[in-house]
Structure 1
Amino acid sequence: MTAGNHSTVTEFILAGLTDKPELQLPLFLFFLGVYVITVVGNLGMITLIVLSAHLHTPMYYFLSSLSFIDLCYSTVITPKMLVNFVTEKNTISYPECMTQFYFFIFFIVSECHMLGVMAYDRYVAICNPLLYNVTMSCQVCSQLVGEVYMMGLISATVNTGCMVRVVFCKAKIISHYFCDVFPLLELSCSSSYINIVVVFCFSAFNTVAPTLTVLGSYASIIASILRISSTEGRSKAFRTCSSHILAVTIFYGSAAFTYLQPSNVSSMDQSKVSSLFYTIFVPMLNPLIYSLRNKDVKVALNKIIEKRLFC
């Protein structure tokens, strides 16, 4: 039987994080808690921004988009992983695997570019404050977010289109907890040269372009902050960027640790463990970073809580 026109495999088996039965339930409970925090945190951030009028600014518009992306790409991976912890055979059908692969790439690439857009927004706010409302108008913000999702759409469509052309006729066990590109290509019995070239080209662009945007923006921001005479002014300018700097460092740092290790050093088990931080923990941490380190978010949350208690 064939799955689609190109594959002799109708389903895959996900190796998961561990094959030790005694660890399945503790890991299920742990990652269920992480996912609940992720959903509550990101939905709460989106709701807070929508309900708080003083948060209707470009910075928080981009933050709500980031929370939406985090929520979605966590949902693409975590629920299936949780099911696999409590089922005897961790299978995923070929269409489900390709769907998971598509949406994972879509949202992860979108997050890369969204962090770059947020860095540009901070650059305009600090380096050109008088022109901020004109430069970051509603129309411009919508166009930037649209371009972010367009980058994700193009990357996901091209990579998935190349993946469905691969013939899978070897062992069906994916040595990972989700359908990632390199574990899938390991099962190929057809040439994967085109896939590797496509992955390399898109990875280079989707990494280099946002990274250059972030580095260029913060180089200009730091130069502007150093020109501020008052200590209070410097502290205020830095506080507006500190949460984003931390989020960027965690996201790109974990991604680099996952994908840029030398092949002779990194094992598949190491890759799975490092991928956990990249795919599971980052979506949980982002809303915590922006809520705990952001005065405006704290004020908006307190106002809503006081309003509900008063009512």
Structure 2
Amino acid sequence: MVFRGRRVTRDRALVMAIVNRTPDSFYDHGATFAEDAARTAISRAVDEGADMIDLGGVTASPGAEVTADEEIARIVPLVEWARARYPDLLISIDTWRHEVGDATCRAGADIMNDAWAAADPRLIDVAAAYGAGYVCTHTGGRTPRAEPYRPDYPDVVTAVRTEVLALAERAEAAGVPRGGILIDGTGYGKDTADHLTLLGHVKEFTGTGWPVLMALSNKTFVGETLDVGLDERLTGTLAATAIAARDGAAVFRAHQVAPTRETLEMAAAINGTRQPARTSAWIS
């Protein structure tokens, strides 16, 4: 993978740490909304082994309007700080707006994580203009911050794969570097059964040749599958992470960096792409 000329090679899948400058995140409820708190979260993620950070200025859920200018004001100073503090850190921006994409790329961002399936198609052009990466997603027709709903999928795997591949080809045709294009194996507009089905067919995405990003961290489908609350979803998240990593997914968006990194290192060792940190002469 290559993002704005930064070639990334690892012996395991990459960890994309989530840092939200929003007061209403579903997971942290605004814990990193203050700029100092967001900076601390970035530093902690780097210390725990994150390969990239994903900065968001608007929650995906319906709520109070956040203008493009406000989103830029929340995110750009953080991008500038992170780029100066961690020159080699990959910086992803969770946005659907081309204005935000342009402002953050000028500040040093590397990847446009467009969770809304090109709702603003000009974001692809921004990624192309800067040589930035672009994440291709599927929403089932849900528009930015609209109320969640589930379309009728005769075959959810085919529906998602078809759309993200078409978007990847569209991004490449627009000039986004092929090495910077990722496809998302999940996305909005899915119920728990859909997410579990997609997780069972990760190889149908990794087999396309495009790097696959998985956004599984503490999602509702984990809570519903295990009948646990928001604070008890780590085990289920890591189980899903291990399975998707075994099947070749390349990037994992995560709230808890250290356990995610260790899970990915273990999966890579089992897959044979990573050597153990150490081995003993003793036989157990």
Fold shared per TM-score above 0.5:
no
The structure carrying a bigger helix percent of its residues is 1
Larger radius of gyration: 1
Q: Which has the higher strand share?
A: 2
The higher-RCO structure (CA 8 Å, 6+ apart) is 1
